[in-house]
Chains A and B, each alone.
Chain A
Amino acid sequence: MLRDERRPESAALSGRETGRLANPDVRDEFGLETIDMNMGPQHPSMHGLLRLILELDGETIVRCDPIMGYLHRSKEKISENRTYPAVVPITDRIDYLGNMHMEHGYCLAVEDLLDVEVPPRADAIRVLMCELMRLASHTPSIGFLLLELGAFTPILYGFRERERIQDIFEAVTGARMMFHYIRIGGVKADLPEDMPERIWERVESMEANIQRDFVDLIEGNEIFVARTRGVGKMTQEKAIEMGLTGPPLRCTGVDFDVRRDYPYGWYPNVEFDVVTDTEGDAEASYRVRLGEIKQSVRIIKQVLEKLPEGEVMADVSRRVRPPEGEGFGRVESPRGEYAVHVVSDGSDIPYRVHYRTPCTVNMQLLQEIIPGHYLPDVMPIMGIVDPVSGSWDK
Chain B
Amino acid sequence: MGALLEYLDQEPWRFLISFGAILFLSLNLAAILTLAERKVAGYIQLRHGPNRVGPRGLLQPAADMVKLFTKENLSPSGSDRWVFLAAPIAMFLPAPLIWLVVPFAPGVVVADLNIALLFFISITSIGALGVIMAGYGSRSNFSLLGALRGAGQLISYEVPLILSLLGVAILAGSLSLVDVVNAQDGGFWNWYFLPQFPMLIAFFVAGIAEVKRIPFDLPEGESEIVGGFMVEYSGMTWAMIQASEFGLMGLMSAVSATLFFGGWQPPLEFLDLGTFNWIWLGLKTALLMFTFLWIRWTLPRLRMDQLMDFGWKVLVPLTIFWLFVTAGAVLAFPSIFG
Contact = CB atoms under 8 A, between A and B. Distances in A.
Given A223-B302, A375-B145, A156 B223 contact: no
B145 A151 contact: no
A215 interface: no
Contacts of A156: 45-47
Most buried by A among B41, B221, B300, B301: B300
A378 B46 CA distance: 29
B225 A150 contact: no
A375 B224 contact: yes
Contact of A147 (B47, B144, B215, B223): B223
A44 B226 contact: yes
Contacts of A378: 224
B303 interface: yes
Interface in A338-394: 374-379
B222 A44 contact: yes
A377 B306 CA distance: 12
A153 B222 contact: no
A379 B224 contact: yes
A120 B217 CA distance: 54
B305 A374 contact: yes
Contact of B141 (A37, A147, A217): A37
Contacts of B217: 150
Given A37-B141, A147-B223, A156-B46, A226 B303 contact: yes
A70 interface: no
Contacts of A375: 145, 224-225
Nearest to A42: B226
B214 to A, nearest CB: 5
Nearest to B149: A59
Contact of A146 (B221, B300, B303): B300
B291 interface: no
B215 A153 contact: no
Interface in B283-315: 297-306
Nearest to A374: B303
A224 interface: yes
A214 interface: no
Contacts of A226: 302-303, 306
A92 interface: no
Given A376-B224, A379-B224, A152 B45 contact: yes
A227 B304 contact: no
A286 to B, nearest CB: 12
A150 B223 contact: yes
23 contacts: A35-B141, A44-B222, A44-B223, A56-B145, A58-B148, A146-B300, A149-B301, A150-B300, A152-B41, A156-B45, A156-B47, A221-B299, A221-B300, A223-B215, A223-B299, A223-B300, A227-B301, A375-B145, A375-B224, A375-B225, A376-B221, A377-B303, A379-B224
